[in-house]
Amino acid sequence: MTGAKDSAPGAPLLIRSVEFLGGMASPGAWRPPPLLPEIAFSGRSNVGKSSLLNRLVRRKALARVSATPGKTREINFFSINDTFTLVDLPGYGYAKVSKSARAAWRPLIEGYLCSSEQLRGLVQLIDARRDATPDDLTMLEFLSELGVPTIIAATKIDKLTRSAGPARLGALARQLGVDDAQIVPVSAVTGQGRDELAEAILELLEQPPWRSAVGESDSPDAR
């Protein structure tokens, strides 16, 4: 994937190179050295995360689009333009995944979020057509407790009619207790919201790591 050119040179987040760095399979296992700023992506298993990642970086196979939700079981790291690392967290909440597998993913995800030295923020994906699930709310509460800057991306917005979209997004914002403007509606199919999401990510990359921003005294490790 390295060296491929972006097809939309005028868009924010021009993609010049993408490189898969490897996967982290368990807490404390190998991961790439935290040399670059990191942006993580989180969401339940069938929320369309893989498709959206592919759309964001304008590649067809950055993240595989699986017919079996819950198949990705590692934290995958990708270098983007040799300037930041995109971190693809395992999808959560898929009922057909064994309880033991779901139990193993939680410490993997939480361990990464609590220990990453270069994390600038996280993009939390929620299906625009539905209310946030209990798993979504648990993740958002955890992120809030940590103080991780979070972008909420409402996926599959193309599945809603133009008239129904604003009302559905408003209902989701009320459920989450955020302003409507804090939710970015996106579609991996049409590309709607790609540039708005890219701009929000670029803003996060300009910020210091969240651990230094909140102060070590406020971090979970210091409690």
Percentage of the chain exceeding pLDDT 90? 67
Is residue 143 pLDDT above 80, yes or no?
A: yes
Name the pLDDT band for 63 (thresholds 50, 70, 90): low
Can you give the residue range of the structural domain that contains 34?
18-207
Q: How far apart are CA 29 and CA 114, in angstroms?
A: 14
CATH number at residue 117: 3.40.50.300
Question: What value does the mean pLDDT take over residues 98-109?
Answer: 68
Question: What value does the mean pLDDT take over residues 121-141?
Answer: 95
- pTM: predicted TM-score of the whole model, two decimal places: 0.86
Residue 215 resides in a domain? no
Residue 127 resides in a domain? yes
Q: What is the pLDDT of residue 93?
A: 72
Instruction: Decide: residue 105, CB within 10 A, 0-12 exposed, 13-18 middle, 19+ buried.
Output: buried
Is residue 148 pLDDT above 70, yes or no?
A: yes
φ and ψ of 151, to 5 deg: -100, 130
Which range is most confident: 62-66, 89-93, 111-115?
A: 111-115
Is residue 71 pLDDT above 70, yes or no?
A: no
Is residue 167 pLDDT above 90, yes or no?
A: yes
Question: What value does the mean pLDDT take over residues 213-217?
Answer: 53
Strand 38-43, strand 18-24: pairing: unpaired
Residue 6 resides in a domain? no
Question: What value does the mean pLDDT take over residues 135-153?
Answer: 94
Is residue 215 pLDDT above 60, yes or no?
A: no
Residue 32 resides in a domain? yes
Query: Which positions ≥6 away from 33 have C-beta within 8 Å?
Result: none
Is residue 220 pLDDT above 80, yes or no?
A: no
Residue 172 resides in a domain? yes
Contact criterion met (CB below 8 Å) for 125 and 47 = yes
Residue 9 resides in a domain? no
Residue 70 resides in a domain? yes
Name the pLDDT band for 98 (thresholds 50, 70, 90): low
- What is the count of structural domains for the chain? 1
Contact criterion met (CB below 8 Å) for 131 and 171 = yes
Residue 190 resides in a domain? yes
Is residue 102 pLDDT above 70, yes or no?
A: no
Residue linked to tokens 């270098």: 79
Q: How far apart are CA 45 and CA 63, in angstroms?
A: 13
